[in-house]
Chains A and B, each alone.
Chain A
């Protein structure tokens, strides 16, 4: 049993653990940075204090999420070398420059302007402060661009040559490497997921406060904005996800076979397996509930199109079907639940019951964390689905790891688990505490009303509400 935990397995667990933990924060802060940008733009344009109050309210939460994203991201940037040194040596000439561009174009931009964003409002004036907010928001997007380019290249590698020393080296075109075949789909799918994740959190917080006080102006505004986002973007995400799936079928067919649970080839139309228990030993899905021909219809847009199964690839190239099968279903299922929430909000809006339909608010609260679950499930699907390779069909995971002894990796894994759960658990608790406070007029820059003022320049709004219309604007 313990033999299963060799150094490579432990390194894989460590990477999966730290990257999953890390990705929770950027998937939130990418969307939140853009939300803050929109709020500040609306405030500058309309002068309505509700936007300024919401900006301050969410800025405090953003600061904590961003700090946790930064520190867990630094860990990731070193883990390529500590645990995956053979991969780093072999792929470094290609993925290294892409990640260096991420640092140069995104990390510095975010970090440089974050200080001004958090502490500089009275020092630089409103226009420059807005520019700093925009810089941070754009930085989060640029960061996503590069890191997804790296990940996509590992999934669909093109534009490389293999040098005498075994390294993957760039071919003549860097553009071919950056814009590799799966990159546009992955980037779009991930960034939209980040926006949806944030809108679900914002919507849940808005709903929580609406249940307590349905006339709270800030709660109304954030709930309404978030539900617009969910209603408009969730259907787009379903279309993008479908296109991404077709792209995966073209370039990584084994991953799709695992997602669908197709152990056997289907020469005359494959069924869609809704649920079941994949049984890799027997090469079949037990207790399968399936719809005939539907898988072929979705993937090939023809119910009778033949579809190859995992029986067409060697056993040692088969991804772990059970994990991929289930994570894919969690992602899709929650995606449709989010879509349903968006539709529900449109109905409520049409009935003018947006702010006083507790069922809608409760559903929004229940689905508040679902973006994170969906995002993690999606990453599990794509990362586990490309196993047993780190660079698809070129470099095996088992041949990528550092020459380390298992106890070293086990020791650091335990340390990471303890520290991450303690530190980030506390951070999430602080975020929840901030979310539990009702958004106020003249929202204080402080989370706590006593103690030293970390005002960092963000002074409370004028006592007189500039906002004239307190009336309804559903």
Chain B
């Protein structure tokens, strides 16, 4: 018998992964924005993502909406538990989203909308990182509801994951700009990539070292024999990818730093999955406990099986339309 719940866990994980892969680099460009020179450099950075950011962000809606549809209990527990960081994320995304239009419409206040673009991107990213950390460290559940306090999400660990994600997205943004631009801004992006990479490896190391001590189950998975045999390749692969990425920064094949950074994200997400599987709220609620009834799962699966490939198809097409290097004057 096919386990629909497992399939749905896979689809939600895919949606969240697609979100991180796609919105990650454009949020990263927002985080790096103040480092670029006012004028041509900033315009070029903005132009490189203007046609695709909206589609990228839609994966966040699918992640949230999919969670409500497939795992309503998890949705109902997690969102109130993370009320403050999620509200901050939404407000950050509001500022950032409108900045794409507003900064071109009002040259007199462009500095303000540049700041809104950067601040909104940074706030949204930081909040997403905190959300991840708060989930990993555990959420108080009683019955079918959140039972913890209003500030439970705020811990040194969640602040660490928040900062880590900002570094990671910034590196993705630098990789994207190395790929999509040329000239001074590309040189700047290469220059930013090195310290960001070092910071990211340190951050991954700190989060990985901290995680096993949050929950007994994580400890068993990562440290104790025989879990160690299965999990040891992950940090080794992280180290190898980091090394390749370091060397690719000066590589004339401009697309490499971006893809290698994505590989680092992929490995981190794999590590995350090793820690929490098969829970949707780590240590509290499994995917089967939170799952929607079968009729809901089947109804959505029919649609998702047809529509997700179609969506991926026209998304790839849209990226293909805007392939190649961008310049100050946008796409021609």
Q: Which residues of A contact B (CB under 8 A)?
A: 63-64, 67-68, 70-75, 77-78, 80-82, 85-86, 88-89, 91-97, 99-105, 107-109, 111-116, 118-120, 122-124, 163, 165-167, 169-172, 174, 402-405, 407-408, 412, 415-416, 419-420, 423-424, 426-427, 430, 433-434, 446-448, 450-457
Contact = CB atoms under 8 A, between A and B. Distances in A.
Contacts, number: 272
B68 interface: yes
B184 interface: no
B318 interface: yes
Contacts of A446: 104
A455 B332 contact: yes
Given A82-B87, A123-B331, A448-B104, A93 B293 contact: yes
A70 B332 CA distance: 26
Contact of A112 (B40, B70, B303, B314): B314
A57 B280 CA distance: 48
B154 to A, nearest CB: 13
Interface string B81-108: 0011011001101110110111011110
B223 interface: no
Given A93-B296, A103-B61, A454-B330, A115 B72 contact: no
A101 B306 CA distance: 11
B54 A70 contact: yes
A97 B307 CA distance: 14
B69 A97 contact: yes
Contacts of B107: 448, 450-451
B73 interface: yes
A220 B141 CA distance: 63
B68 A96 contact: yes
Among A71, A120, A423, A433: residue with most chain B CB under 10 A: A71
Interface stretch (B45-53, B194-202, B260-268): B45-53
B311 interface: yes
A415 B62 contact: no
16 contacts: A67-B100, A74-B60, A77-B65, A78-B79, A85-B79, A93-B293, A93-B296, A96-B70, A97-B292, A97-B296, A100-B68, A104-B304, A163-B293, A423-B94, A450-B107, A455-B331
Contacts of B304: 100, 104
Nearest to B80: A402
B55 interface: yes
A430 B99 CA distance: 12
Contacts of B299: 97, 170, 174
Contact of B76 (A88, A103, A119, A448): A88
Contacts of A119: 50-51, 322, 330-331
A423 B98 contact: yes
| Dominant SS among interface residues on chain A | helix
A192 B222 CA distance: 58
Contacts of A174: 295, 299
A194 to B, nearest CB: 20
Given A82-B86, A82-B87, A92-B76, A122 B321 contact: no
B164 to A, nearest CB: 23
Nearest to A459: B332
A78 B97 contact: no
B78 interface: yes
Contacts of B307: 104-105, 108
Contact of B54 (A68, A111, A454, A457): A111
Contact of B95 (A74, A91, A419, A430): A419
A38 to B, nearest CB: 23
B197 to A, nearest CB: 30
A343 B222 CA distance: 75
Given A118-B51, A453-B330, A457-B330, A92 B72 contact: yes
Contacts of B102: 64, 426-427, 430
B50 A456 contact: yes
Nearest to A456: B330
B288 interface: no
B329 interface: yes
Given A70-B97, A430-B105, A454 B47 contact: yes
A410 to B, nearest CB: 12
Interface stretch (B28-36, B143-151, B224-232): B143-151
B104 A451 contact: yes
Given A82-B83, A97-B296, A170-B295, A457 B331 contact: yes
A427 B102 CA distance: 7
Interface in B148-162: 150
Contact of A74 (B61, B76, B110, B328): B61
B281 to A, nearest CB: 13
A112 B40 CA distance: 26
Nearest to A404: B80
Contacts of A80: 68
Given A81-B80, A427-B98, 17 more contacts: A67-B101, A77-B64, A88-B72, A92-B292, A99-B65, A100-B66, A104-B304, A108-B58, A108-B62, A119-B322, A402-B80, A407-B150, A415-B87, A419-B95, A423-B94, A430-B102, A452-B328
B55 A115 contact: yes
A123 B321 CA distance: 7
Contacts of A107: 58, 61-62
B69 A75 contact: no
B187 interface: no
B64 A456 contact: no
Nearest to A165: B144
B300 interface: yes
A119 B308 CA distance: 24
B321 A81 contact: no
A91 B58 CA distance: 23
Contact of B93 (A71, A95, A456): A71
A427 to B, nearest CB: 6
B215 interface: no
Contacts of A454: 43, 47, 50, 104, 330
A81 B71 CA distance: 12
Which of A86, A91, A111, A114 has the most chain B CB atoms inside 10 A of its CB?
A: A111
Pick from B94, B102, B106, B308 the residue with the most CB of A within 10 Å.
B94
Given A113-B314, A123-B321, A457-B330, A71 B68 contact: no
A163 B292 CA distance: 11
B117 interface: no
A249 B208 CA distance: 61
Given A74-B57, A115-B52, A448-B107, A170 B78 contact: no
A411 B296 CA distance: 35
B287 interface: no
B288 to A, nearest CB: 13
